[in-house]
Structure 1
Amino acid sequence: VKDYGDDSDFYHEVTSLDCLAWQDIDGERDPQCLPLGGLSTWASLPGPPDPVKPKVFLTAAIDSATLFHDQVPAASDVAATLAAILGAADLLGRSPYVADLPSQIVVALFQGEQWGYIGSRRFIHDLLSFECENLVDASESSKDGGGGSLCLNPMYPSLAFQQLGSSSAVQHVLAVDQVALVSDDGQANLFVHPTMGGGDLADKLIIAADSVDAVTVAKAFQPEDPDDPDTADPALPPSPLTSFVSHMPKQVSGAVLAGYDRHFLNARYHTQYDIIEMVDLEYVRGISEFLAYAMFAAAGGDVSGGLGAELDNELVADLLECLTQNLTCSTVDSYLSQEEANLSERAGVDITLIDHPDPNEVASGAEVGERKNMRQGGQPNYYSGVFGIGPNGQPVMARRGGESPGLYARFDDKWNAETDYMYAVSSPLEGFLRAFLADKFTQESKTQRGDTPTECKTSSDCGPCEDSNSDDIGNMECVYGGQCACRVSFHHVALDPGIQATEVPNKFDVIDQSSPIFTEPNWRYLGAKLYPYSGKSIELISLLLGICITVLSAGGSYILQQMLIKKKLL
């Protein structure tokens, strides 16, 4: 417990701005909280991002909330949505027709959306106005010259997002929310909530639904805005689309695809009771197939002839089980093993994103330690958590040797590829999402090559990417299965745009006080001592001994008092 002296009103008067700038009694910076956030994930298909092609975004939140932050199962909210999106990504990645689409598909999964749309606001802010004050060119970022461009101030390990193009390149945005809710008629009834300019996208979604038997799609009820019905966007459900609509300089063609119309239907939404029993696997499979068809149609494809591939039903079932019950499942574990190998090489030290117990030990009830986005025993927890060093997503530069060795969250000096390493450690969930999309979005490109794909253990075993037009992307990377593939999947900082990192990790400056900044206090564990129960005999002896001591003390006091009185000392 920390003593704040006369600041008895600390807990109800200090704001996020105050606790981030908190100073100790010596006037030294001593923040008492960390901002919420982490790492968002985005990936492009086909191939690395092409700034010339229009972009069609499929977006969703990867975090949720409940009254208790350590119990956020979010099965029908986040987990089922992610399982459906990842299943659709696998199907699209195997489609031979995607390469001929006039638009590029981008899957963007944002962290911190429950807290002022942190991930999506930062992503769009960087798309529109990112400025790097200390750029490291791709030719200088690594020893072999193939590491891709990076920025030291602010600290960004990848600048691939700059290849997504300007705001005019955003053609459509489809956000997905609570699609696992099932109606009484045995079908997954989905509702499209379009923006003012999203009529064309809504029509494409409804047409795509004709190709999937288990799903029906209809336009949601849209009340007119009494103030300005001709220009104002209709009321939209909370989703990453809100950030696109609010911050893009042009009218956005977008829609929210949801399992509800005018109001939420899930009574367990944002509670610790939103568990796997709320989700039906068959509906998630149907939604996953529909999302693949919907994105194919939104990108300009003709869905009447199919996608040339079928949904992997077993994969969707496996994903749903992992994302609702066990983030240490074999699927997640396999992807994270490769992610750890690549990250450890980039960081210059061994990094583990998850404990890797023996499968037999897990089956017998072995304990798995807590991590961000994961509770004890490997159970998923979809609270976003804080943004900082370690598995909390803050990018850092480690200088090992040379001049000014140390760990930096912002750096204004010159980069040295011989001694400097830049990396960001993700949570198990964030790492899995990036690794999964990196593999699935390069499936078709790997099979189309005339030669056998290069085998690898880490990304240093891979050469240049022939499909990339930018040095920002860098060389190929080693993906799941030990094969080299072009980089198509990336992390992006999910930190409120109103906050910037200082040179010291875990310390931040507020640069926009009007921004809705959310933080979490630095919790401290209270000490406690436990004593073993010694039995009733010890209790009886202690009681009798106490009585005897009390009697002897009283008797001795009486005798002493009489002696003092007799000697007239009292």
Structure 2
Amino acid sequence: MVGGCWTSVGEETNHLSQATASARLLFHLSTMRLPATLALLLTIAFSTVNAQDVATTLYPYIYKDLSNWPCVRLLNATGTIGCQVLNSATGILQMVQSQTDLNNFISSGGLPGEKYAIVMPYGLMTTQNLRNLGSSNKLGGVIAIVNTTSGPLPQPQSSSPDSTCPNCEFGLYANDSQPYVWNPQGTSLIYENFDFPIFALDPIDPFSVDMYNTIALSANYNANKSYTNYPLKAVEFDAFMYGAVNTATCLRRGWCSPVGGLSVYSTPSGALNHGDGKPVIVLSAAMDSRSFFHDLALGIENDVSGMIALLAVADALSKSPTNLTTFPKHIIYTLFTAEAWGHAGSQRFVDDISQPPVCVNTSSSSSFCPYATPACTFPCFLDLDFTRINFDAIESVWELNSVAQSSAPAGSSGFYAHIDDPTLPANQLLVQLLANVSVQNQGGGQYGVQAAGADGVNRRLPPSTVQAFLQKKRAIPAVVVSDFQKQLGNDLDDTFDPAAAGASICAAANITARAIWLQAQGLTTATPVPGSVAANCSLVGVLLECLTTNYSCPYVTGFYNSSNAGRITHYTSIYNWNNPGLIPLLMFNILGNLTASYRGGKCTTIADCSAGQYCITQQCVNTLTRYHDAYGTGLQMNVDGSFSVVDPTKGTWAESVWDQTDLRVFLVISRSFQIVELVFGVVWTGLSVGLVLYTQRFLVKTLKVA
């Protein structure tokens, strides 16, 4: 067993045979009729090959590689955010447990000339603390403990890494001189730029548990030796990011890709047509969230609760005894991705349906468009079904925002209906409809709906997808349903109560489904809503589990194979036309199944179905469910498939290309001993070269080799 890894007899024999063969080859080289210099160079070369082989063999003895959650670099029109390290950084592990510990380390801690990897609770990850560490000249990197194996760590209730008004610079009120502060606890840590590596510890699966235990044991090992008695445990960080300067420069150099993905829209109105004269009701929610460590973004409130509530509404309406296709109004479900990054999903969707693109069909040889049969080669679209949505026919837009009530601010009670313009009668009608339905079906109270402006303060809309619709047409009636009135809640993902969150989400979905059922038929609350039009709380609970802790749940595997997925990130990632991502893929399948107008034969893949059909739950179905590109509206895809910045005032977020990030633990000796080792190594190398030269000359004289 080598370095904790079992090695087979065959592998050991292979190493021995390689060594024997190398030794024989070196002997033959020294006795061949070759010039002395060439013989020396070849001898050194083969010695180098052997050294590399030895290094590979010894690697497990020296290092222990760990799975990791890195802070990565993103770019926009004006610069960069996140973390970057140009070369591998190392540091002796040192645990910091309080602000006092951190201050002491910065002022007087550490040995002269050494670099340290500070292990500290996520609660100490403030901009000022990180800046102070970076300017201390003794920082190698930071490892933030998000949670422990014993359970969630206490998180600061008065702090958020986002800005005080997330994405407001891209929203409906971007030009307001004093926009409302929805996130007063915001520190904008997400927008900072650090030139040292920062990794997270969050034991959420077997690999990250191993990482947590290794770092914790190593830090305790150093603490027991007072961080001074060598050898000590250290870590090496690899987190090189290629992106630099800003998005325009980075895209031009090919060092980054647009942040984004694929949004999903769906409607039970399979015959939807741009000129059919029917009003349109849009129900929307976001599919992504963000955090300082993207891979740990979960967003119970920020995206999960609204997304699940929308699915529960679609499920409830699919059980209407009156077929939805006979309603006098269309209902369209929209789930937008990359909303956390400049409202990219909603703004691009609205741009495309409000002003359909002009197709310039180019030859396949001059166009990147990768689809086999695209509806348009430039701009590249697989289909143009989104042009069937008449933007001017949109009668109202409804959004399900944060509705889990798991982190609602103190003083919040029930749900709040936010509107932009309280003087618009149609806005007030939406609020009143929701309030009346909540009283009729939920009895008000904990799950009642009231106007967010009931206290006399007009805060208008919080950060939301509906702002994109109003940016194009301010007069569209729109409402955002949330569990907060005055400010965003603290999204403490690991401390939520699944049962309480599920009950709240189900209540919000139930109210919204019944209100839309009435609105889509032009009815009032005087008309009784059928009992079948009700949110399925069991489905809500299942979805909550699948989207937060176990993507491999039976419900998801009923659509496709998702084994060993576990907890997944809710960070949108980068735009990829061929890869919707795990969350949009699931949303497409669920909505496609709920809005299917025809179910045909059995299938295992889409190839088994007729043209225009999809294979969902092993059945060929007809459904008007589609993906839609989502990346910043300040970006444009060019004919050759590259991207460029066309409007720096809009969303231009891009993610840097980066090498595989690594975090390795190893033992380090004192600097004085390292110097001794270096000198010894140089001397040994010199002696080795001298021995080779002597041996070569001896063989020339003894064996009479020219």
Of residues 200, 212, 216 in structure 1, which corresponds to 2:448?
216
How has the CA–CA distance of structure 1 residues 148 and 486 changed in structure 2, closer, same or farther, with 3 Å as cutoff? farther
Counterpart CA distance in 2 for 1:106 and 1:20 is 35
Comparing 116-125 and 94-103, the one that deviates more: 94-103
Question: What do residues 400-432 of structure 1 show as CA deviations (whole Å, max 9, x unaligned)?
Answer: xxxxxxxxxxxxxxxxxxxxxxxx321111111
CA contact (8 A) 1:208 1:290 kept: yes
Distance 1:84 1:509, change over 3 A: same
Q: Which moved more, 1:82-91 or 1:108-117?
A: 82-91
Amino acid paired to 1:379 = R
| Matching of residue 286 in structure 1 with residue 422 in structure 2 | no
Quote the residue 2:144 is aligned against: none
Match of 1:205 among 387, 412, 434: 434
2:590 alignment partner in structure 1: 436
Residues 125/330 of structure 1: CA separation in 2 closer, same or farther (3 Å cut): same
Distance (whole Å) between structure 1 residues aligned to residue 666 and residue 410 of structure 2:
59
* Mapping 1:339-358, distance limit 5 Å: 356-357=562-563
Equivalent position amino acid for 1:218 in 2: Q
Normalised to the residue count of structure 1, the TM-score between the two structures is 0.65
Written as runs of structure 1 = structure 2, the 5 A alignment for 1:24-423 is 31-51=254-274, 52=276, 53-97=278-322, 98-134=324-360, 150-165=375-390, 167-181=391-405, 189-196=414-421, 197=424, 198-213=427-442, 215-221=447-453, 235-248=460-473, 251-264=475-488, 266=489, 268-269=490-491, 273=494, 275=496, 279-300=500-521, 302=523, 304-307=527-530, 309=532, 310-337=534-561, 356-357=562-563, 368=564, 377-387=565-575, 394-395=576-577
Specify the structure having the higher radius of gyration (Cα): 2
Task: Label 1:262 to 1:185 Cα distance change in 2 as closer, same or farther (>3 A).
Answer: closer
What whole-Å deviation, never above 9, does each CA across 1:270-327 have from its counterpart, x for those lacking one? x554655595322222222122112212323546322351433322211111111111
Match of 1:536 in 2: none
Does the Cα contact within 8 Å between 1:50 and 1:163 map onto a contact in 2? yes
| Distance in 1 between residues matched to 2:508 and 2:293, nearest whole Å | 30
Tell me which amino acid in the other structure corresponds to 2:656.
P
Give distance in 2, aligned partners of 1:527 and 1:71.
Answer: 17
Where structure 1 has 5 or more consecutive residues not aligned to the other structure, the ranges are 4-8, 23-30, 137-146, 226-232, 338-355, 358-367, 369-376, 388-393, 396-423, 447-451, 464-473, 534-541, 554-570
1:48-87 Cα offsets, whole Å, 9 max, x none, are 4332221111111111111211111211332122222111
Give 1:536-551 correspondences, 5 Å limit: none
SS of equivalent residue, structure 1 residue 306:
coil
Aligned to 2:624: 488
Q: Aligned AA for 1:385? A: S
Alpha carbons 1:41, 1:491 under 8 Å: kept: yes
CA contact (8 A) 1:148 1:475 kept: no
Question: Following TM superposition, by how much is the alpha carbon of 1:2 offset from its aligned partner in structure 2, in angstroms?
Answer: 6.0
For structure 1, which segment, 301-310 or 254-263, has the greater mean C-alpha deviation from structure 2 after superposition? 301-310
8 Å contact kept, 2:243–2:656: no
1:368-414 superposed Cα distances (whole Å, 9 cap, x missing partner): 4xxxxxxxx52031111111xxxxxx33xxxxxxxxxxxxxxxxxxx
Counterpart residue type for residue 488 of structure 1: L
Q: 2: CA distance between counterparts of 1:334 and 1:384?
A: 24
Does the 8 Å CA contact 1:75/1:278 hold for their aligned counterparts?
A: no
Change (3 A) 1:501 1:241: same
**How far has the Cα of 1:454 moved from its partner?**
3.8
For 1:234 and 1:44, the matched residues in 2 are separated by 32
1:524 is matched with 659
**Structure 1 pair 484/519, CA: closer, same or farther in 2 (3 Å)?**
same
Relative to structure 1, the CA distance from residue 508 to residue 524 in structure 2 (aligned partners, 3 Å threshold; closer, same or farther) is same
Partner of 2:612: 475
1:528–1:253 distance in 2 versus 1, CA, 3 Å: closer
Cα pair distance change 1:172/1:161, threshold 3 Å = same
Q: Name the CA shift for 1:323/1:279 in 2 (closer, same or farther; >3 Å).
A: farther
Query: Which residue pairs with 1:345 in the alignment?
Result: none
When residues 527 and 435 of structure 1 are mapped into structure 2, their CA distance, relative to the original with a 3 A threshold, is closer
CA distance in 2, matches of 1:330, 1:217: 34
Question: Could you list the per-position Cα deviations for residues 454-481 of structure 1 after superposition, in whole angstroms to 9, with x for gaps in the alignment?
Answer: 4444445545xxxxxxxxxx7333322x
Long gaps (5+) in structure 2: 1-84, 88-194, 196-240, 363-371, 685-706
Q: Once the 2 structures are TM-superposed, how far is the Cα of residue 483 of structure 1 from its aligned partner?
A: 2.9
Deviation at 1:13, TM superposition (A): 7.4
Tell me, yes or no, if structure 1 residue 499 matches structure 2 residue 635: yes
Q: Distance in 1 between matches of 2:436 and 2:639?
A: 52
What is the SS of the residue equivalent to 1:38? Answer: strand
Counterpart of 1:172 in 2: which secondary structure?
strand
- Cα RMSD (Å): 3.8
Give the drift of 1:502.
Answer: 3.2
Contact kept? 2:378, 2:639, Cα under 8 Å? no
Question: Residues 332, 33 of structure 1: CA spacing in aligned structure 2 closer, same or farther, 3 A cutoff?
Answer: same
Per the TM alignment, residue 504 of structure 1 is displaced from its structure 2 partner at its CA by: 4.7
Equivalent residue, structure 2, for 1:567: none
Q: Which structure is richer in relative contact order (CA contacts within 8 A, separation 6 or more)? A: 1
Q: TM-score, normalised by structure 2?
A: 0.54
Alpha carbons of structure 1 residues 208 and 185: separation in structure 2 relative to 1, 3 Å? farther
- CA–CA distance in structure 1, aligned partners of residues 374 and 655 of structure 2: 33
Structure 1 pair 523–12 and aligned structure 2 pair: CA distance change class (3 A) = closer
Please name the residue that 1:425 is paired with: 579
What amino acid is the match of 1:99? T
Name 1:515's counterpart in structure 2: 650
Measured in 1, the distance between the counterparts of 2:337 and 2:349 equals: 10
Cα offset for 1:103? 0.8
CA distance in 1, matches of 2:496, 2:451: 28
SS in structure 1 at match of 2:585: helix
Q: State the 1:109 CA deviation.
A: 0.7
Measured in 1, the distance between the counterparts of 2:413 and 2:332 equals 25
What SS does structure 2 have at the residue aligned with 1:525?
A: coil
| Count of matched residue pairs | 420
> Kindly tell me: are residues 148 and 193 of structure 1, through their superposed partners in 2, closer, same or farther at Cα, counting changes over 3 Å?
farther
Distance in 2 between the 1:20 and 1:514 partners?
17
Residues 504 and 92 of structure 1, relative CA distance in 2, 3 Å threshold = same
